[in-house]
Amino acid sequence: MNSPFSLYVARESGLHHLHPLTKLTLTFGLLIAALALPWIWATYILTALVIVPLSVWGHIARPLLRAIWTTVMPFAISVFLIQGLLWGSGTELFRLGPVSLKQEGFVFATASTGRILMIFGAFLLFAMATRPDTLMIALKQIGFPGGLAYIIVTTIQIVPRFQAKANTILDAQRSRGLETEGNILVRARALLPLVMPLVLGSLVDVEERAIAVEARAFNSKRRETSLVEITDSQTQQIARWLMMGLTVGILIARVIWR
């Protein structure tokens, strides 16, 4: 069952049944690769050969691609407009009135868009295929402090929680007669009545979470028990070590390449 406060998409698939730490290690490796690989098309190739097939295996390809499109496209447009057309000196590809597209700006924008695409894709793949509660249990089983595990899980959930809270505030203000649709001036006037409750509500939410953490004895030194025990296989443990070794190798190769 999908939660409005989480990006998790419930499916019966091999990807969902993988150990949360295996998926977390893969995600970390993809993030490092997106930032470290120097080749301009490397991020696009890895996205097509790793993230997309895994999303198909997990039966979440459609929501994943939709989320990537709506998230990455505004970044891509802005990056290409700013870097491609407003680049300083460089090789001019073509001119359109007072602005011209520079080859160096186009290459930089293409590489930046690929990194953004791969980072968002890896994060969304992990969030859609991993239940937050199982991730917290898995982290605590390997010795992570409860507070740190809680911070990691909360970070994954922060975007859908903000979105759900914003939609609730928007519906409440509309029911009170607030105009939220129309020209840009109407929307600008509606911005403050929407932002202020969102900010104040988020501060209250943070306080409630802090109280919940204390009530659940997150700072206790005793070993906690759980009704859910996540089993791990030796094959996945070896795969995690291999992925971590490959990630370290990418970092070392990047340093040597510089």
- Tell me what pLDDT residue 168 has: 76
- Residue 74 burial class via C-beta count within 10 angstroms: exposed 0-12, middle 13-18, buried 19 and up: exposed
Task: Spell out the residues 6+ positions from residue 24 whose beta carbon is closer than 8 angstroms to its own.
Answer: 126, 130, 135
* C-alpha–C-alpha distance, residues 64 and 1, integer Å: 17
Q: Is residue 239 within 8 Å of 22, Cβ to Cβ?
A: yes
Q: Which of 136, 160, 121 is nearest to 6 (CA)?
A: 160
Which tokens sit at 14? 């091999």
**For residue 102, which amino acid is it?**
K
pLDDT tens digits along 111-137: 888 999 999 999 999 989 988 878 888
pTM value is 0.75
**Listed range (99-103, 137-141, 149-153, 179-183) with the worst mean pLDDT:** 179-183
C-alpha angle 213/164/26, rounded to 5°?
70
Handedness of CA 224, 230, 231, 233 (dihedral sign): negative
- Tell me what pLDDT residue 138 has: 83
Which tokens sit at 218? 């997150």
CA 164 to chain centre: 17
pLDDT band of 179, cuts 50, 70, 90: low
pLDDT band of 236, cuts 50, 70, 90: very high
Q: Which residue do the tokens 């870097």 mark?
A: 83
Pure H helices in the chain? 14-17, 20-36, 42-46, 52-57, 61-79, 85, 103-129, 132-141, 146-175, 184-215, 234-257
Handedness of CA 140, 144, 147, 153 (dihedral sign): negative
pLDDT band of 9, cuts 50, 70, 90: confident
- Tell me what pLDDT residue 61 has: 92
pLDDT tens digits along 71-85: 888 888 888 878 777
Beta strand 92-96 with 99-102: parallel, antiparallel or unpaired? antiparallel
The yes-or-no verdict on residue 59 having pLDDT over 90 is yes
Taking all residues of the chain, what is their mean pLDDT, rounded to a whole number?
80
Query: What b/e string do you get for 42-65 counting C-beta neighbours within 10 Å, with b at 16 or more?
Result: bbbebbeebbbebbebbbbbebbe
- Tell me what pLDDT residue 207 has: 66
Which tokens sit at 18? 């993988």
Task: Spell out the residues 6+ positions from residue 101 whose beta carbon is closer than 8 angstroms to its own.
Answer: 84, 85, 92, 93, 94, 95
